[in-house]
Amino acid sequence: MKTKLLAILLLVVVALSVIPFSVNAATATISLESKSISAGQEVKVEMKLTGSFSAESITETIKFDNTKLEVKNVEWGDVLDNARGFVECTGVAPANSFGEVVATVAASKAQTYSTGTIVKVTFKAKAGVTGNQALSLISVIDGKSDVVTSKSGSINVVVPVTGVKLDKTSANLDLNGKVTLNATVEPANTTDDKTVTWSSSDNTVATVKNGVVTAVKEGTVTITATVGGKVASCTVTVKCAHASKTEHPAKEATCLEKGTTAYTTCNVCGRIIAGENKEIPVKDHTYGNLILEVPMVHTKDELKDGTAAHYKCSVCNKLFNKDKKEVKAEDLVIKAEHKYEELEITEETHSAKCACGKVVENEKHKGGTAYCKEQAICEVCKAHYGEFNPDNHKGGEATCIAKAVCELCNEEYGEINPDNHKNTELQGNVEATTEKEGYTGDVYCKDCEKVVEKGEVIAKLEEEPVKDENKDPNKPNTGDNSNIILWISLIVISIAGVIYIVKHNSKIGKRAN
């Protein structure tokens, strides 16, 4: 029995030893690359193995459209190079009339093939061919087509954009006018995106949408069309024809508002096309004649205020005193009031008599203001009366860092005055020179540490011309030859005179001998 079992096991081992092993399709993949090339160019596509498998025979077939692609070269990859010692290669067939590249390998026994490149095929796109060209892969391992996973590839033949042109390179537009620019993409059969992107160098002058340029205001802009990184441009000049205009007459200045000179504007572009919109300063007031004083009335039976002499502007109705300084109506009032001299005062009342004969008897005190530590003062008899007002403080001054202090009770009251700076200094002031500008400096508050007034830049000083103090005013200027010629003439005349005298004296001497 044992002998029979051992014999059966030996038969199983022998049978297994002669059966070739291959991997399941899930563990190995043979795939073709997908590439992109420009029309007329060549590209190398690799057939790659991912994973591993064992087999005796391999047949790899690449099918393609030979009317659009042609094979330029086929070469082994490293997967088969590594197994050469055990492989009988029956050849790598070039593309036949059906558009196939066939690679066949036969080994004497099963071999293991691992990750790498099986075959490299160089393709070339034929003239005029564009678009995606399919590369179908068929893998047959030991006569079976389901041993490995096969993935096909492709070659995408593209025609890139080489340029873009506009039908106009320059254009002139009236304000609000329009012009359409047409873009032509080159070459016409490009496989790139032909979408044109339009832009304006200044949208405030002219805008562009889908090639339609619209003028906005006067000026010059560059309209650009861009396709696939290629650009073309058109220079657009916008000018207004000023077809509609408005006349603006001169406006005389008054004491209330400034005037303007006459000018004309274009209703389309809004520009001044004639004259000048120049501002005329405000004029002085129209004072007219002096309005005489109206005296006050002060009698026992009648008390009536008067009015001081003044001017009144006939334009703005403002009031001015005799010196033509602006005043308010109350400033011109000549107050008519009794002046009581004989007074009898009690805590609550007073009796008094005015020089005009007006008499008041036992009249209650009136008027005045009560403070925190000071009673009100009667406006008639000037006596203190009534109660203190603890909430009403007097005097003091609020600053940028402190409230006012009551001069009566010495307590703080009210609010801080952020605009009242008492402790200031000038900082950053620099004198101007002939080489650099100066600065008047900033006024800085040392209490609240703020700049309360910014300074101003002082212009550079002008250089004074250099004076030559040693220059002789009687000496001739450089380049002035008139005095030199005079001197030379005098010297020549003097020498001639001396020669004449010497010769004359010698003749007289000879005659004397």
Which domains does the chain possess?
20-158 (2.60.40.680), 163-239 (2.60.40.1080), 245-280 (no CATH), 297-334 (no CATH), 340-385 (no CATH), 424-458 (no CATH)
488 Cβ contact list (under 8 Å, min separation 6): none
Amino acid at position 21, single letter: F
pLDDT score recorded for residue 496: 75
pLDDT score recorded for residue 506: 60
Pairing state of beta strands 263-266 and 272-275?
antiparallel
Structure tokens given for 362: 């036992």
Q: Which 3 state secondary structure label does DSSP give 103?
A: strand
pLDDT score recorded for residue 468: 54
Cα dihedral sign for 324, 328, 334, 339? negative
Structure tokens given for 73: 């070269």
Half-sphere exposure of 403 (CA within 13 A, CB side): 11
pLDDT score recorded for residue 12: 33
Transcribe 426-457 into DSSP letters.
EES-B---SSS-EE--EEEETTTTEEEE---E
Q: What is the DSSP letter of 134?
A: E
- Longest CA–CA span in the chain (Å) reads 193
pLDDT score recorded for residue 452: 87
The H or E element that residue 173 is part of is strand 170-174
Task: Give the gyration radius of the chain's Cα atoms.
Answer: 58
pLDDT score recorded for residue 484: 66
Q: Which residues pair with 172 in a beta bridge?
A: 237
pTM recorded for the entire structure: 0.41
pLDDT tens, residue order, the chain (513 aa): 434 433 333 333 333 333 333 344 447 999 999 999 988 889 999 999 999 988 888 888 999 998 899 898 888 888 876 655 444 444 455 656 578 888 888 877 888 888 999 989 999 999 888 889 999 999 999 999 889 999 999 999 998 999 999 999 999 999 889 999 999 999 988 888 999 999 999 999 999 999 999 999 889 999 999 998 999 999 999 998 888 899 999 999 998 899 999 999 998 888 898 999 999 999 999 999 999 999 999 988 888 999 999 999 999 999 999 999 999 999 999 998 888 887 888 888 988 888 888 888 888 988 899 999 999 998 888 889 988 999 999 989 999 999 999 999 999 999 999 999 989 999 999 998 988 889 999 999 999 999 989 999 998 888 776 655 555 545 444 444 545 666 677 787 878 776 766 666 665 444 444
Terminal CA-to-CA distance of the chain, rounded, Å? 193
Contact assessment for residue 113 and residue 57, using Cβ atoms and an 8 Å cutoff: no
Structure tokens given for 205: 């002058």
Q: What is the DSSP letter of 407?
A: T
From the list 287, 331, 286, the residue with the least C-alpha distance to 305 is 331
For residue 483, CA distances in Å to 7, 95, 479 come to: 149, 110, 10
pLDDT score recorded for residue 3: 40
pLDDT score recorded for residue 505: 61
183 Cβ contact list (under 8 Å, min separation 6): 164, 165, 166, 196, 211, 225, 227, 232
Pairing state of beta strands 34-38 and 153-158?
parallel
Q: Cis omega (within 30 of 0) on the bond before 187?
A: yes
| CA 392/CA 374 separation, integer angstroms | 10
Assign 3-state DSSP to the chain and report helix, strand, coil percentages, each to 5: 10, 45, 45
From the list 118, 196, 138, 131, the residue with the least C-alpha distance to 157 is 131
Structure tokens given for 260: 């303007």
**Full strand arrangement of the beta sheet holding 245-248:** 245-248, 263-266, 272-275
Structure tokens given for 159: 């025609």
